[in-house]
Amino acid sequence: MTTTTPSPPASTMRASVMTGVRTLEIEDRAIPSPGPYEVLVEVAAVGVCGSDVHYYRDGRIGDFVVAEPMVLGHELSGRIAAVGENVDQSRVGQRVAVEPQHPCRRCTQCTAGRYNLCPDMKFYATPPIDGAFCRYVTIDANFAHAVPDSMSDDAAALLEPLSVAVATMRKAGVVPGSSILIAGAGPIGIITAQAARAFGAARIVVSDPVQERRERALTFGATEIIDPIAHDVAALDPQVDVFVDASGAIPAVQSGIRAVGPAGRVVLVGVGNDNYPLPVSHIQNLEITVTGVFRYTDTWPAAIHLVASGSVDLDRLVTGRYDLDHVAEALESDTDPASLKSIVVPR
């Protein structure tokens, strides 16, 4: 049984479907029905993520391979259009940001509170699970997070990459007065810089080979910028407490680790090669902790607070908007250095 008030206007919806490498087609698909503990969300905005671009251009990310037609997009916001039988009917019409994952809730990782590491995770736009470049999606009701009316649809969608940054700050142990080096001034690097400022970091250094991106980082919370082509990042003085890689570039990782001081922390966020040669003696002798971030756990409440309080500005990241007929252009927009974050509006 599904309670719907109001009901979707039709039984089908338009969806942008990846049917091959660099190939998208518009299809009419059935509007999904929410399960007993799910909600149906009418999608308002979807951010374009680097993972979407990797799938579109390469057909895979590591072991995740697009083997059949798939809908991309996992950074999304919208409005609840219908609820399952075990969900409060009053939620219909509520504006929400979607946490785009379905953990099993029963495995060892889930019961330990690490549901992001669930081996049976079903994550939007990760093969073979469809994403949100379409009109409607379903999600577990408690993963549809209510957002205040003061927050735009774009900002609500971008709570997803902000959640990555929140998870990164927690892993990195950033506290008031911390110093941090961030490699990469793309969307994740810029959002990470804002999150570092919101968590109280006093020194925020951003490294990027593109001058325009470095200068933009200064407007989003960076206190220093560095050109890794012209300067030796490893010689950063003084050394930092934390290094976050948001580039996936091997030279950036290697030099960034060397810029970390004793008992510092390194968090790898960027998608890069499967194997990196690392400065092991530096890591060992200075007792540096090196870890990664894989998605997030229980980060939306913090992310919503950071945006609602004005500590993080996500609206200013948006540099382009596209409809479903122009998703290919949205996925290629990262080739423009002036582009930061593209939004797809699935109408």
To 10 degrees, what angle do helices 187-198 and 211-218 make?
20
Assess if residue 103 is contained within a domain: yes
Assess if residue 304 is contained within a domain: no
- Could you tell me if 147 and 170 lie in one domain? no
- Could you tell me if 133 and 181 lie in one domain? no
Residue 66 contacts residue 55 (beta carbons within 8 Å): yes
Instruction: Count CB-CB contacts under 10 A for residue 12.
Output: 13
What is this structure's pTM? 0.95
pLDDT in the model for residue 1: 43
* CA–CA distance, 123 with 100 (Å, rounded to integer): 6
State what percent of residues in the chain have pLDDT above 70.
97
- Could you tell me if 212 and 112 lie in one domain? no
Number of domains in the chain: 2
- Could you tell me if 103 and 231 lie in one domain? no
- Could you tell me if 154 and 31 lie in one domain? yes
Here the CATH number for the domain that contains residue 41 is: 3.90.180.10
- Could you tell me if 42 and 152 lie in one domain? yes
Assess if residue 196 is contained within a domain: yes
- Could you tell me if 82 and 216 lie in one domain? no
The dihedrals phi and psi of 102, each to the nearest 5 degrees, come to: -125, 90
* CA–CA distance, 195 with 201 (Å, rounded to integer): 9
Which of 170, 176, 169 has its CA nearest to residue 193? 169
Residue 264 has pLDDT above 60, yes or no: yes
pLDDT in the model for residue 8: 57
pLDDT in the model for residue 7: 52
- Could you tell me if 89 and 27 lie in one domain? yes
Q: Going by DSSP bridges, is the β-strand pair 95-98/144-146 parallel, antiparallel, or unpaired?
A: antiparallel
Assess if residue 297 is contained within a domain: no
pLDDT in tens, 282-305: 999 999 999 999 999 999 999 999
pLDDT in the model for residue 2: 46
pLDDT in the model for residue 276: 87
Domain that holds residue 170: 164-292
* CA–CA distance, 218 with 204 (Å, rounded to integer): 9
pLDDT in the model for residue 3: 44
- Could you tell me if 336 and 284 lie in one domain? no
Assess if residue 300 is contained within a domain: no
Q: For 147-186, b where at least 16 C-beta lie within 10 A, e where not — what string?
A: beeebbbbbbbbbbbbbbbbbbbbbbebeeebbbbbbbbb
Assess if residue 125 is contained within a domain: yes
Assess if residue 131 is contained within a domain: yes
pLDDT tier for residue 9 given thresholds of 50, 70 and 90: low
* CA–CA distance, 202 with 98 (Å, rounded to integer): 32
The dihedrals phi and psi of 188, each to the nearest 5 degrees, come to: -65, -40
User: Any idea what DSSP says for residue 218?
Assistant: H
Assess if residue 20 is contained within a domain: yes
pLDDT in tens, 145-158: 999 999 999 999 99
- Could you tell me if 92 and 204 lie in one domain? no
- Could you tell me if 53 and 142 lie in one domain? yes
Residue 60 has pLDDT above 80, yes or no: yes
- Could you tell me if 72 and 215 lie in one domain? no
